[in-house]
Amino acid sequence: MPDKRDVIMREPPSWLNALLVVGTLATIVWLESRRPLRRMRQDRLWRTVRNLSMSAMTATTVALAEKPITAHLTLAVQRHRWGLLKLARLPAWLELLFSVILLDYTLYIWHYLTHKVPPLWRFHQAHHVDLDLDASTALRFHAGEMLLSAPWRGTQVLLLGISPLGLAVWQTLTLMEIMFHHSNLQLPIALERRLSRLIVTPRMHGIHHSIVRQETDSNWSTIFSWPDRLHGTLRLNVPQQAITIGVPAFQDPAELTLGRVMALPFKDERPGWRLAGDGEPQREPQPLPLNELAE
């Protein structure tokens, strides 16, 4: 007979995860149309088609390459009591909470590596070359990046001791949060300043997608904002209307078709942080402190 705790920590039904994710996406897309934060630079229809096409390839890769690994490992962790959280023998609710916190923190580390390790950046760059930022950007990652991240995800599960429920809850919360913080949604600044103390918000993550390298090298957090605060990588003081989204070397929309973006990791790399004939973008010092969110 299965242990009661093992039953509690099982993966929830897939329809519930899908309902939460699709419901979040629909709500954010509707709110973006009502209160846009930034002016869009590309044709909305074709950009959305491109982003959703990349999303379909990403989802397929995750299903084929990552899901079989993590499904097996979470069950093994639960059965054999492997990993940090299993050794701690916490109450189920506390184990679930720490699963989300630790998975989110180790994703911060992975995100940092995708920017700093050149082979990983070649694939992650496909996410950053989008010239606009909205909920669809949250879904557009190169399938190759998902393939490369599968061993990292397996390591997270095994070393941290993540149950099927812990992984599923974190994955759902992560999808919902990245759609929120990539969104083109203008929240009241007072509300967003409060939210950014706890979670990543649209203005905060918009700075991460700036063509100014020092700004892209900040705000790596995914769900909670505390990893950036802990490591001194938080930057909130850049006004959104002063930000140009994308990668400096890829500011021509004609270069950002689906085929060309998917081929980016396999082409000769150009100096990504230099504008065509105009050097590397810089930002003058801002009047607000780094940890104060600008409008």
pLDDT digits (tens, 9 = 90+) for 88-104: 999 999 999 999 999 99
4-8, 62-66, 264-268 — which is least confidently predicted? 4-8
Percent of the chain with pLDDT over 70: 97
45-54, 149-158, 257-266, 272-281 — which is least confidently predicted? 272-281
Burial 29-48 (b: 16+ CB within 10 A, else e): bebbeeeebbeeeeeeeebb
Instruction: Give the pLDDT mean for 152-156.
Output: 97
Alpha-carbon distance values, 38 to 35, 128, 203, 295 (Å): 9, 16, 10, 11
Q: How confident is the model at residue 269 (pLDDT cuts 50, 70, 90)?
A: confident
The answer, yes or no, to whether residue 66 has pLDDT greater than 80, is: yes
Position 81 scores a pLDDT of 94
12-21, 25-34, 218-227 — which is least confidently predicted? 12-21
Q: How confident is the model at residue 279 (pLDDT cuts 50, 70, 90)?
A: confident
Position 271 scores a pLDDT of 82
Q: How confident is the model at residue 1 (pLDDT cuts 50, 70, 90)?
A: very low
For the chain, the average pLDDT equals 94
Output the pTM of the full model.
0.94
Q: Each residue of 114-132: pLDDT tens digit?
A: 999 999 999 999 999 999 9
Q: Each residue of 175-209: pLDDT tens digit?
A: 999 999 999 999 999 999 999 999 999 999 999 99
Percent of the chain with pLDDT over 90: 87
Q: How confident is the model at residue 3 (pLDDT cuts 50, 70, 90)?
A: low
Position 135 scores a pLDDT of 96
66-75, 154-163, 250-259, 272-281 — which is least confidently predicted? 272-281
Say which residue the tokens 């081929």 belong to.
263
The answer, yes or no, to whether residue 295 has pLDDT greater than 80, is: yes
Position 7 scores a pLDDT of 58
* DSSP letters spanning the chain: ---HHHHHTSPPPHHHHHHHHHHHHHHHHHHHHHSBSS---S-HHHHHHHHHHHHHHHHHHIIIIIHHHHHHHHHHHHHHT-SHHHHHT--HHHHHHHHHHHHHHHHHHHHHHHHHSHHHHHHHHHHHT-SS-SGGGGG---HHHHHHHHHHHHHHHHHHT--HHHHHHHHHHHHHHHHHHTS-B---HHHHHHHTTTB--HHHHHHHTBSSHHHHTS---SSBSHHHHHHT-----S-GGGPPBS-TT---GGG-SHHHHHHGGGSPPP-TTSBTTTB----PPPSS-TTS---
The answer, yes or no, to whether residue 276 has pLDDT greater than 90, is: no
Q: Which residue has the higher pLDDT, 12 or 112?
A: 112
Report the C-alpha gap between 153 and 237 in whole angstroms.
33
